[in-house]
Amino acid sequence: KRLFGLISTNIVPGLPRLLSNAHKEGWSATKAAEKAQLAVAGKYHARNYTEFDKDLAILIYELGGGAALYALNKAPVMLPSRYTIADIRRQHNLRITVGDVKISDILENIETLFRDIDPGEYGRVGHTLSQDEIAGDGRLCYLPETDEIGGLCEHATSRLKSFKMGSDLTSVEATVKAIRAGEIHVGKEFSVAAFSRHAPSNYSAKPVLLMPTCKKGSWQSSAEILQKLIHAWKLSPFGEAKHGPLQSIASDGDGRRRAVLYLVCMHRHLSRDDPLHKYLSELVGLNLYTGDGGLTMDFDYKHLFKRLCTLLCSKEGMLVNSVIINKTLLAQWLEKLSGHDWSDESIHALLNPKDPQDVPWAVKLLCLVADLRHLDTSQFTPSEKNTHRALCLLGEMLDALVNPFINPTFSPSEQMTQLVKFAHIACTLFIKHEGDFVSNQLYGDLQCMVKNAIFKIAHSKVLSPLLKSFFVSSGRRCFGNTLREIQNDRGTLTEHGHRRVVPALWFHIAHGRDLPKISVSGAARPAPQTGSQP
């Protein structure tokens, strides 16, 4: 009674840890009340911190600084002090690339982020490598851990002898001179590469490369960086050996990177001896050219949706059976759809979006175009019927593309059947109309996305018959979450990236902030739960 009265009338600092100690050490109610009284008086401090307490303290320190953590250490929540988390913080440091990409830096970052991850009950699983750029603030900084100048683009190595500060200003003067002469550049963006697991947990993309870039490099330099990332994953004892092979490389459709992906992921045909061959050889029309180990390329389906919508909302549009389907035609036909209040949201606003990068807008437009198939044609003129037949074909194709990603009731067979249906319709229209249907690049990216989804399930079967697979973790979905975490702190990425970005990502990864997935069973569920077997 005394203990409950004390707790109900006072703020007891570190109460959860105090009660944990009472349980572990078998305190009586009287002793627990005495300890609570001492805690209120500031004479007892329970320091049996949990991993969550320590991770939260790291996050507070990196985002709010020492003053914020000190205040919370003295507050009733009593988070660990900066001295308590010092050793843990050092374990989470990432290496920021200075100059040329070094395999040693990638290997160390792989060890930092994958060393403590438990492979789980299914052991080794497949992985996706994703690459993209994010905006930075374009400034140089000093990296005290390596005594180097950070923030220069990847071409600085060819102009500067050293990035080390040393004991004088020689390196600084040489750097400033080269920048003013236009020989090297300050990185305006940051190139990020990350590996993500094809697993029901710990599948968030983990960045192993953080590099300032001016984006003026050639496709050859991009190929060299990609090969270093692939080899680092194979070489690291915390990479392929512990967690499983690399199965796909994902991109957002960058032109320079696309050329590299075709070189890396399309140079060998699956032989009869390949374990994947028995699952894929009888699929009519499937491109069986891959990279080493069945490596395939993937493109973010959300980006593909937006690119299709941009094409539909353009003046040029796309040609389907001699009918040009563009924004003008769609504006006339969308008015015929019943059940939509166009006064509340005009067709003009739908076809002229303020933000073409809005994914919900893209999905809505594609679904509305697909709904045109169900219009009553009894009162149509012959010309309208001809146009409607073209819209029906396009709608059938778009419905087969979008539904596997948005319909949580689809079974794995339905998901794959729909994607294959889309691929065959798109192939037929592209053969007939070529670039007047969609561009070569967009068509190739769409087909690669479908191909990768099929290969992903085959890879799962080869690794383990019991391995679970999750459909919409294809592409860069997990990578996008990681980029947003880094983007939120982009102004300090070079200078404080290894101290600010990584702990935030580590907290994001370690405490279940993975987004819900649709498993191969078609059921929507959070990450800790698993889907059915593929």
At 45-101, the pLDDT tens digits run 888 888 888 888 877 877 777 888 888 888 888 888 888 887 766 556 778 888 788
Higher pLDDT, 363 or 489: 363
Residues 241 and 354 in one domain: no
Using CA atoms, how far apart are residues 428 and 423, in angstroms rounded to an integer? Answer: 9
Residues 118 and 233 in one domain: yes
Region 331-354: what's the mean pLDDT?
83
Tell me whether residue 528 is in a domain. Answer: no
Cα angle 135-304-357, degrees, rounded to a multiple of 5: 45
Average pLDDT, the chain: 82
> Any idea what DSSP says for residue 519?
B
pLDDT at 296 over 80: yes
Question: Range with the lowest mean pLDDT among 26-35, 176-185, 296-305, 489-498?
Answer: 489-498
Question: Range with the lowest mean pLDDT among 155-164, 182-191, 261-270, 450-459?
Answer: 155-164
Residues 290 and 314 in one domain: no
Which structure tokens are listed for 262? 């075709």
Which structure tokens are listed for 34? 């005495």
Cα angle 257-394-372, degrees, rounded to a multiple of 5: 130
Residues 241 and 390 in one domain: no
Tell me whether residue 11 is in a domain. Answer: yes
Residues 294 and 175 in one domain: yes
Residues 372 and 507 in one domain: no
Single residue among 438, 459, 488 that ends a domain in this structure: 438
Single residue among 90, 120, 140 that ends a domain in this structure: 90
pLDDT in tens, 164-174: 887 888 888 88
Tell me whether residue 68 is in a domain. Answer: yes
Residues 86 and 55 in one domain: yes
Identify whether the C-beta of residue 205 lies closer than 8 Å to the C-beta of residue 481: yes
* Nearest one of 528, 482, 397 to 196, comparing CA atoms: 482
Higher pLDDT, 524 or 132: 132
Domains contained in the chain, number: 3
pLDDT the model gives residue 91? 55
pLDDT the model gives residue 345? 67
Confidence class for position 531, pLDDT limits 50, 70, 90: very low
Single pTM value for the model: 0.76
Residues 324 and 266 in one domain: no
pLDDT in tens, 454-494: 999 999 889 887 777 766 555 455 555 555 555 554 444 55
Higher pLDDT, 275 or 523: 275
Region 279-307: what's the mean pLDDT?
92
pLDDT at 246 over 90: yes
- Residue span of the structural domain in which 38 resides: 2-90
Residues 313 and 296 in one domain: no
pLDDT in tens, 6-28: 777 787 888 888 888 888 888 88
Q: Long-range contacts: 418-426, Cβ < 8 Å, 24+?
A: 419/450, 419/453, 419/454, 420/283, 420/450, 420/454, 421/396, 422/397, 422/398, 422/446, 422/450, 423/285, 423/447, 423/450, 424/285, 425/393, 425/396, 425/397, 425/400, 426/397
Confidence class for position 509, pLDDT limits 50, 70, 90: very low
Residues 137 and 270 in one domain: yes
Tell me whether residue 520 is in a domain. Answer: no
> Which whole-number Å values give the CA distances from 80 to 47, 50, 256, in the listed order?
8, 10, 47
Residues 295 and 308 in one domain: no
Identify whether the C-beta of residue 91 lies closer than 8 Å to the C-beta of residue 503: no
Question: Range with the lowest mean pLDDT among 112-121, 276-285, 370-379?
Answer: 112-121
Identify whether the C-beta of residue 408 lies closer than 8 Å to the C-beta of residue 518: yes
Tell me whether residue 455 is in a domain. Answer: no
Tell me whether residue 529 is in a domain. Answer: no
Tell me whether residue 114 is in a domain. Answer: yes
Tell me whether residue 415 is in a domain. Answer: yes
Q: Which amino acid is at 445?
A: D
Residues 19 and 127 in one domain: no
Question: Range with the lowest mean pLDDT among 215-229, 283-297, 478-492, 518-532?
Answer: 518-532
* Nearest one of 503, 476, 499 to 134, comparing CA atoms: 476
